[in-house]
Structure 1
């Protein structure tokens, strides 16, 4: 009997101007449904995509009933800024029913996340450097925003850090705090959460290394170690978390060999479900970095850099069962699967699927 896992893929469907100054012509049609064969790693399309404007980042509600997508634009439905859209997932086939959208009150929203209770959705607006909070209605749709937070400041890179660039929002393991890596200010902005009122209140920020450009972070399963990927410096930092919103820098490692840093910028980072191995994606070097995680100290030991099988590996995902890594290669119009060896974390190429301008892949947990 075959075993499959559904994956949703977000794409660029319209032209997009990046912070690097590059203009990309989006070739996608919207949100694609894929099926991953858990026995072989084969990936295939399922049905027709849902038409959408630059649904470049996706997240799934904890119960698996809803999908939320950013609309990464500078103008959405005739209004300045981007959008965030909600969809109901049909259980029988995974198809999506559009529930509506809201303005993000900022330009180029690049990340969306949801709390474990499924009560609030958070959107990070990259170009305008802001974060927007939305209560979730009973039917899964989004209520008008409850808060908009505008970051301030700059940092040392004159080309990329003239102003704030909020890149993602990650909740602490107990969800008492929210953390926003800001590429433009070199801060990991910290906020206390209030889900009753749908508000975030400022806490003490963590200052990353100048010019590093923090982009995304993920917590170890023990809740004490946090791994921060830095786009501009091509590094990953290990932070010790104190459980009360504070971090201490413990280690910083390169994602590519020193001689390869020119022309490379990092994108994504994920741990295996058992937190024994960690992976990072490199755009320019076009590789996946592989590390072993020390179980006691959380420190990283480099194991390998392997070709991603395309160009510009953007977002990637580790299958919830820990058997496969799925990577979206934005500029080569393909998505690849790699088998993960549970003994040493090594990656073996399994399958390649054509998909136009893929940016994000989100496996369904159940």
Structure 2
């Protein structure tokens, strides 16, 4: 297997794109030594087709684009289709379970594009079938002046798409109709003002939400009859103090462990990945955190490895997943564990997938 890394411009998020950044490749998840294999403007999020040798890249631009890559030769990927997504700063992609629809979340414009895909995995139309906007704001004037769609997911039960809106502190709800198109259906959950929901992980009827702005991981219980969710618990995302900047929660993922599930949460500024043990009923217990490098924006859980992008250090790390799952509890409050890892160089890594 090989890894593909999506990246920001060398000068960082928000700087002019299309100046040589693109897709990088690590031939092995163990070593993560990497080389750039394709020029592409700010491909900050990637998702792979489940059965075809295709990868979808969200190019995070003021006028965002979707690029479809043929990765049948991973060392030499090529663009086989592009599509203007209709929004600003596409930051997340979600492929429907049947791989016939792609959902594109736009951070700056706050809308979600619905792109229909054919049996060949390519866009059916020359524009999104839908562009679903939103209105609202939050109390954080610097970050919540308007809606900011940060990610999407399929809700428990499979009948709705949920959108984590960092700008309005809401999980927006859309009913799935007509083979993947969406119908606006209200708000599934409202989080505390200033929370800033960013990414969500699902476990049965529970949703775990990484809240970027107030640094809490919130547990919500989903009610299928009403298609709503309520907050039932919250925990600080880490007990580690800020090291490089103000805390900003980033990504989270559930991992099966030896004695139960584990929830991993990356926290920028503290520059760690926090480890939570998940009780059978879903309650979270903070175990500790380990050093994940400078600005760990995104990580991927593979079969035997955990790979992390250090966005501002222009490096990537690879940990043995067994070391992460088996990390001992912290000895003191705010302690940072050091786990063995391999290091590679990638300019401004933003996302990684295995193909």
* TM-score in same-fold range (> 0.5): yes
Aligned to 1:285: 270
**The 10-residue stretch of structure 1 (168-177 or 183-192) with the greater mean CA deviation from structure 2:** 168-177
Q: Cα offset for 1:196?
A: 2.3
* Alignment of 1:55 onto 2:43: yes
After superposition, give the CA deviation of every residue in 1:313-344 in whole Å (9 maximum; x if it has no partner): 1011111x2x2211111000001011223795
Aligned to 1:83: 65
- CA separation in 1, counterparts of 2:287 and 2:296? 19
In the TM superposition, what are the counterparts of 1:15-54 in structure 2 within 5 Å?
18=14, 23=15, 29-37=21-29, 41-45=30-34, 48-54=36-42
* Alignment of 1:353 onto 2:344: yes
Aligned to 1:162: 145
* Alignment of 1:254 onto 2:241: no
After superposition, give the CA deviation of every residue in 1:97-130 in whole Å (9 maximum; x if it has no partner): 3121111211111111101111001101101111
Q: Cα offset for 1:43?
A: 2.0
Asked whether the equivalents of residues 42 and 350 of structure 1 are also in contact (C-alpha less than 8 Å), the reply is: no
- CA separation in 2, counterparts of 1:197 and 1:178? 10
SS in 1 for 2:342: strand
**The 10-residue stretch of structure 1 (329-338 or 202-211) with the greater mean CA deviation from structure 2:** 202-211
- CA separation in 1, counterparts of 2:235 and 2:45? 27
- CA separation in 2, counterparts of 1:343 and 1:306? 8
The alignment of Structure 1 onto Structure 2 pairs a total of residues equal to 339
Query: For residues 27 and 360 of structure 1, do their structure 2 counterparts lie closer, same or farther at Cα, with a shift above 3 Å needed?
Result: farther
- CA separation in 1, counterparts of 2:214 and 2:102? 30
In the TM superposition, what are the counterparts of 1:1-366 in structure 2 within 5 Å?
5-13=1-9, 18=14, 23=15, 29-37=21-29, 41-45=30-34, 48-74=36-62, 81-90=63-72, 93=74, 95-142=76-123, 143=125, 144-196=127-179, 198-220=181-203, 223-244=204-225, 245-257=227-239, 260=242, 263-273=246-256, 276-295=261-280, 297-308=281-292, 310-319=293-302, 321=303, 323-341=304-322, 344-346=325-327, 348-364=339-355
SS in 1 for 2:2: strand
| TM-score normalised by L of structure 2 | 0.88
- CA separation in 2, counterparts of 1:195 and 1:6? 35
Aligned to 1:78: none
- CA separation in 1, counterparts of 2:324 and 2:131? 45
Asked whether the equivalents of residues 136 and 167 of structure 2 are also in contact (C-alpha less than 8 Å), the reply is: yes
- CA separation in 2, counterparts of 1:26 and 1:354? 20
- CA separation in 2, counterparts of 1:26 and 1:251? 43
Asked whether the equivalents of residues 115 and 175 of structure 1 are also in contact (C-alpha less than 8 Å), the reply is: no
Query: For residues 14 and 135 of structure 1, do their structure 2 counterparts lie closer, same or farther at Cα, with a shift above 3 Å needed?
Result: farther
- CA separation in 2, counterparts of 1:302 and 1:207? 24
SS in 2 for 1:56: strand
- CA separation in 2, counterparts of 1:64 and 1:290? 34
SS in 2 for 1:341: helix
Q: Cα offset for 1:183?
A: 0.5
**The 10-residue stretch of structure 1 (264-273 or 333-342) with the greater mean CA deviation from structure 2:** 333-342
Query: For residues 313 and 26 of structure 1, do their structure 2 counterparts lie closer, same or farther at Cα, with a shift above 3 Å needed?
Result: farther
Q: Cα offset for 1:286?
A: 0.7
**Where does structure 1 lack aligned partners over 5 or more consecutive residues?**
75-80
Query: For residues 351 and 72 of structure 1, do their structure 2 counterparts lie closer, same or farther at Cα, with a shift above 3 Å needed?
Result: same
Query: For residues 176 and 65 of structure 1, do their structure 2 counterparts lie closer, same or farther at Cα, with a shift above 3 Å needed?
Result: farther
**Where does structure 2 lack aligned partners over 5 or more consecutive residues?**
328-337
Asked whether the equivalents of residues 26 and 357 of structure 1 are also in contact (C-alpha less than 8 Å), the reply is: no
SS in 2 for 1:43: coil
SS in 2 for 1:332: coil
SS in 2 for 1:349: coil
- CA separation in 2, counterparts of 1:304 and 1:16? 29
